[in-house]
Every structure is written in C-alpha cells, then in structure tokens.
C-alpha cells in the first residue's frame, strides 16, 4: 500500500503523508490473533465515538455488535470526492439522522452523529456559504451530539473562517465540538485549533481534539481538552502505541476511536485495543474509561445521550421498518449465521 502520493484524491480525513510508517506499524508479535484474544474482553461494552458507518457493511455492524460495541458516533465528513451541490450535503446529513441511525439500530447498536462542514470542503467557499445556512436545521435534531468533524486540513484561510463560524454555531446550540486535526503539520495545526477554540470562548471540556499522537497529547490534556486517538492501520496510531499512551498519561479525558471509513480501516479497532490493553495488564476501569465512559461523558454534555438506552443492549427487531423500508430484502430472514457455509 502506498498512500503517500501527492494526489488530490488523498483522503484528508484519515490518510497521512510521510513514508515508512507502514513498516514501523507492523505489530511486534505478529502471532497475536484477534479470535483468540477476544475472549479477554468478553462482557465489556464499547462506545466508538468516531466511525463512518455509511461507508461500512452489514457484516461490519454484526461484527461490531458481537465484539461488544453498543453505541457509536458518526461524524459528518467528506465522501472521498467533492460534492457538487448543496442537496448532496442535505441528503448526507439527513441520512446520518435517519436511515443510518435506523440501520445501526437493526444491529443492536445505538447510533449518534455530529454534524458539520468538513475542513476539506470548507475550501469551496460559494458552496460552504450555502452549507452554513442549512447546518442549524440538522444541529438541533435528536441524537446530534456535537458539531463535527470540523477543523483544519491544509490550514487555509477558508478553513479557518468556517472553523470559527462553526465554533459559534456550537456555542449557540450548546453542543460539544469534534475537531479533526490535520495530518500535515499536525502539531502546529492542533495548537492552532485549540487556540482558536479558546479565543471563541469555548470551554475546553466541551471540545474533543481528535487524531492525536504522542506529539500532541500532552498539550491537549494540559489545556483541558479531551484527546481522541484514532487507531487506524498504517497511517495514524497503532494500538500498541495506544497502550503506551494510556500507561503514560492515564485514562482521564482520553478516548479511543476507529475512524473507520471507506479507506483501509478497522471497525473493530476499539475492542481489539481493549483486548490488547487487558493483555498488557491495564486495569478494567481504565480500559472502560478510554473505550466507553469518557466519550459518553464528553458528548453527553449535549444532553442527547441516555446511557440507559444502550447500556444493556438495544432490542433488535430486524423486521422493523423506517418509512416503509426495512434492511431485509425480499423475504430475507433477520440476521444471517455468519459461520454457516450454507447461504439460505
């Protein structure tokens, strides 16, 4: 895999520049097997505060549910190619609060989302202006737990303008903010994101700075922000590094996410990281904080998260319908037996 080209198509959300990371990120113990170690986390529950389910399959939903993921947050981001008009944004935001939420519920996972104009598309100013007009129509909807993911990509003037404008929207709506930090010049971009949020008078405890690494975490925590860590193969954090971060900084205000999307990513990053933490002797209460509780605490400030809804699992009825549609196609039976050879 080589994502280190200079193509405009590179995903600014979750791919990173700079060669050679892939080799460093290879696990030391390549014999570790998820199927063997998932036993270590049996009974644990997880909350993934950053995952793009629109890009994922029903198999992913089933595997996530089976691994203990009970709730998630899907931030609005970009499609991998530029949208050509406002209605494309509208339909996307609408799908996050409607169909995707319903689809998730059909697999027993509570779905929340954050709504925002992503940094990459902030650079199309005529369109960005129109998007700003419709954001309030979605920000006040049920189950929207923040403004996100917003922030910097290339750190342009337009990105800054719409980041600032959306911080103001977050203040008005009394919603937490989910900040995407840039891959290029990350340290500087992260500092700038925090300084601007403070300048707008946001309480750092309401701002989740995402995609941290060893270089940024200390400053983020010291300034009172939440620190999100994305476990994403080859490009961001590996989970062995994540274990070390938690050993060093403890669990307060740290949360782990997968940021799984349409790139090569892993929707089980959270349970896998929890299993690794367990194996490495990290106590259960610490694991729970960074893979479940802290995310609920941070995004729960929106007033939109009721833990009792998912704490003991959602009731699943895959024959339910939304606007007359079900996830079952023509006579399908609910939930397939994944380990069966026969496909009936």
CA distance 43 to 266: 21
Q: Which is nearer to Zn ion, 178 or 287 (CB)?
A: 178
Site stretch for Zn ion (CB under 5 A), options 20-28, 73-81, 97-105, 318-326: 73-81
**CA neighbor of 54 nearest in space, from 292, 201, 261:** 261
Q: Assign 71 to helix, strand or coil.
A: strand
The least distance separating Zn ion from the CB of residue 95, rounded to whole angstroms, comes to 16
The least distance separating Zn ion from the CB of residue 227, rounded to whole angstroms, comes to 16
The least distance separating Zn ion from the CB of residue 157, rounded to whole angstroms, comes to 23
H or E segment to which residue 95 belongs: helix 86-97
- Binding string, residues 203-242; x marks residues near Zn ion by CB under 5 A: ----------------------------------------
CA distance 278 to 42: 11
CA distance 256 to 47: 9
Which residues have CB under 8 Å from 112's CB, separation 6+?
71, 72, 73, 74, 143, 144, 145, 299, 304, 305
Site stretch for Zn ion (CB under 5 A), options 10-18, 32-40, 109-117, 220-228: 10-18
71: β partners: 47, 110
Site stretch for Zn ion (CB under 5 A), options 60-68, 87-95, 251-259, 301-309: 251-259
Sign of CA dihedral 150, 121, 181, 168: negative
Site stretch for Zn ion (CB under 5 A), options 98-106, 133-141, 244-252, 256-264: 256-264
Q: How many residues bind Zn ion (CB under 5 A)?
A: 3
Single out the residue of 69, 113, 175, 259 in contact with Zn ion (rule: CB under 5 A).
259
Q: Assign 3-state DSSP to the chain and report helix, strand, coil percentages, each to 5.
A: 45, 15, 45
342 CB neighbour count, 10 Å cutoff: 5
108-147 positions binding Zn ion, by CB under 5 A: none
The least distance separating Zn ion from the CB of residue 149, rounded to whole angstroms, comes to 5
Site stretch for Zn ion (CB under 5 A), options 9-17, 106-114, 151-159, 231-239: 9-17
Contact of 143 with 113, CB cutoff 8 Å: yes
Q: Which is nearer to Zn ion, 12 or 287 (CB)?
A: 12
> In residues, how long is the chain?
344
CA distance 27 to 46: 23
Q: Which is nearer to Zn ion, 41 or 60 (CB)?
A: 60
77 interacts with Zn ion by CB under 5 A = yes
The least distance separating Zn ion from the CB of residue 330, rounded to whole angstroms, comes to 34
13 interacts with Zn ion by CB under 5 A = yes
Q: Which residues bind Zn ion (CB under 5 A)?
A: 13, 77, 259
């Amino acid at each position: 895999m080589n994502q280190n080209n200079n193509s405009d198509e590179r995903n600014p959300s979750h791919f990173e520049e700079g060669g050679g990371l892939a080799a460093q990120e290879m696990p030391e113990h390549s014999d570790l097997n998820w199927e063997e170690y998932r036993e270590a986390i049996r009974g644990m529950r997880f909350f993934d505060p950053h995952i793009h389910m629109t890009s994922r399959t029903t198999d992913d939903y089933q595997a996530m549910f089976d691994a203990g993921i009970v709730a998630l947050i899907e931030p609005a981001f970009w499609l991998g190619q530029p949208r050509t008009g406002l209605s494309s944004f509208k339909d996307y935001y609408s799908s996050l609060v409607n169909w995707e939420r319903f689809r998730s519920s059909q697999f027993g996972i509570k779905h929340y989302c954050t709504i925002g104009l992503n940094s990459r598309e902030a650079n199309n100013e005529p369109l960005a202006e129109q998007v700003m007009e419709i954001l309030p129509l979605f920000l006040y909807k049920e189950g929207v737990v923040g403004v996100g993911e917003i922030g910097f990509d290339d750190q342009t003037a337009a990105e800054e303008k719409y980041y600032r404008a959306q911080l103001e929207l977050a203040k008005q709506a009394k919603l937490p903010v989910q900040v995407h930090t840039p891959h290029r010049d990350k340290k500087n971009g992260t500092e700038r994101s925090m300084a601007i949020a403070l300048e707008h008078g946001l309480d750092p405890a309401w701002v989740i700075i995402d995609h941290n690494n060893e270089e940024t975490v200390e400053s983020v925590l010291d300034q009172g922000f939440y620190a999100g860590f994305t476990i994403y193969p080859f490009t961001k954090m590996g989970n062995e590094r994540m274990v070390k971060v938690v050993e060093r900084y403890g669990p307060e205000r740290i949360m782990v996410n997968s940021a799984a999307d349409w790139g090569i990513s892993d929707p089980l990053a959270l349970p896998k990281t929890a299993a690794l933490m367990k194996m490495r002797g990290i106590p259960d209460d610490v694991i729970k904080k960074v893979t479940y509780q802290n995310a609920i605490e941070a995004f729960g400030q929106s007033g939109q998260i009721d833990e009792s809804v998912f704490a003991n699992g959602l009731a699943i009825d895959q024959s339910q319908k939304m606007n007359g549609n079900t996830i079952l196609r023509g006579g399908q039976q609910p939930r397939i037996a994944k380990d069966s050879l026969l496909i009936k």
